[in-house]
Structure 1
Amino acid sequence: MYRRIRFFLTSVLFLCVATAFCNDKENPDAIIGTWLNATGKGHIQIYKQGNKYFGKLVWLKEPNDEQGNPKVDSKNPNASLKTKPLIGATILRDFVFDDDEWNSGRIYDPQNGKDYKCFLRLKDSKTLLVRGYVGVSLLGRTETWTRIN
């Protein structure tokens, strides 16, 4: 009888400790890594600079245009950035970790050249919810990104 109780208590203690150490939602650096975007056409590398988080485009399924040249950020409203390659472009910027999400950041959509408010939230260690919006978060769209590494 005592063996069963001891086994049960040991198991519960182990699960509590394992959960505490494995809870990525409380780890500010849990989003650092490379993510596949919702369309499967791009990889975004999220990194930390100072106390903020950023993401740059590091891979495209179709990196070149019809002429075989690297795709550029042609829809960027900033004229000096229109000729810059898309690969290497920073599309996530200025995120700060707060409780269980990364917020106060911006996301840039190179397909339309627009910049949106954004927050990021881990669903689990391999799934990132990315919510871009205009004004209030109700007016936006959520994408699901998948961790590559």
Structure 2
Amino acid sequence: MRKAIKVLSVATGIAIAGALTMGAAAAADAEGTWARPSGSSQIRIAPCGSALCGKLVWLRDKGKKDENNPDTSKRDRSLLGVLTVYGMKPAGENEWRGKVYNAEDGKTYTGKMELITPSKLKLSGCVLGGLICKGETWRRVK
């Protein structure tokens, strides 16, 4: 009987450890749909090759165009569906580095993402090799 209880307690410990590990892995998952603090748009982060990319999947102003794009042939296109985050590769625990396209000024910046909590993702665009960064914290959309 004691042996059975001991085996059961070891099995329970393994199950709990496995659940905690799975929870930690889920917490480190930046994939999903995220809303900007302004509520003006939502971006879906998903794998693209060996990196993560983010595409605009919802806009409050559905008719908004990519009017500041440096490529004049793209200024008439809808922003809906445009990749704004791309090439994000792991750069540490819950951190990724890549590129960020800012449709508001038409510029592409060195970017970084950091998963703060399972429901908060900080995205920053940087200049001067990452010395000056500006970012915002997005919330996960359920």
TM-score normalized by structure 2? Answer: 0.81
> What's the Cα RMSD here?
2.4
Q: In the alignment, which residue of structure 1 is the partner of 2:24?
A: 23
- Residue pair 2:36, 2:137 contacting (<8 A) in 1 also: yes
Structure-2 separation of matches of 1:136 and 1:39? 27
Note the 1:81-96 alignment, pairs <5 A. 81-96=74-89
Match of 1:137 in 2: 130
What does residue 99 of structure 1 align with? 92
Describe the shift of the 1:79–1:43 C-alpha distance in structure 2 as closer, same or farther (beyond 3 A).
Answer: same
Q: Which residue is equivalent to 1:37?
A: 36
Matched residue pairs, number? 134
**110 and 20 in structure 1: CA distance in 2 versus 1, 3 angstrom threshold:** same
- Say if 1:137 and 1:24 are closer, same or farther in 2 by CA, change over 3 A: farther
Q: Distance in 2 between matches of 1:19 and 1:32?
A: 20
1:94-131 deviation digits (Å, cap 9, x = unpaired):
1112331111x111111111111111111111110112
1:60-91 Cα offsets, whole Å, 9 max, x none, are 1122xxxxxx2210100011211111111110
Q: Which runs of 5+ in 1 are unaligned?
A: 1-5, 64-69
Distance (whole Å) between structure 2 residues aligned to residue 147 and residue 24 of structure 1: 16
In 1: Cα distance, 2:60 partner to 2:140 partner = 16
Is the alpha carbon distance of 1:131 and 1:24 closer, same or farther for their aligned partners in structure 2, counting shifts above 3 Å? Answer: farther
Note if contact 2:123-2:135 (Cα within 8 Å) is conserved in structure 1: yes
Identity %: 28
Alpha-carbon offset, residue 50 of structure 1: 1.4
Q: Is the 8 A contact 1:26 1:99 kept in 2?
A: no
Instruction: Please say if 1:78 is aligned against 2:71.
Output: yes
TM-fit CA distance, 1:12: 7.8
For 2:37 and 2:129, the matched residues in 1 are separated by 22
TM (norm. structure 1) is 0.78
Q: Would the alpha carbon gap of residues 38 and 137 (structure 1) be closer, same or farther in structure 2, given more than 3 Å must change?
A: farther
Contact persistence 1:24–1:124 (CA under 8 A):
no
Query: Is residue 53–residue 93 contact of structure 1 (8 Å, CA) maintained in 2?
Result: yes
- SS at 1:18 equivalent: helix
Give structure 2 stretches of 5+ with no counterpart.
1-5
Aligned pair partner of 1:119 in 107, 112, 117: 112
Kindly tell me: are residues 142 and 11 of structure 1, through their superposed partners in 2, closer, same or farther at Cα, counting changes over 3 Å?
farther
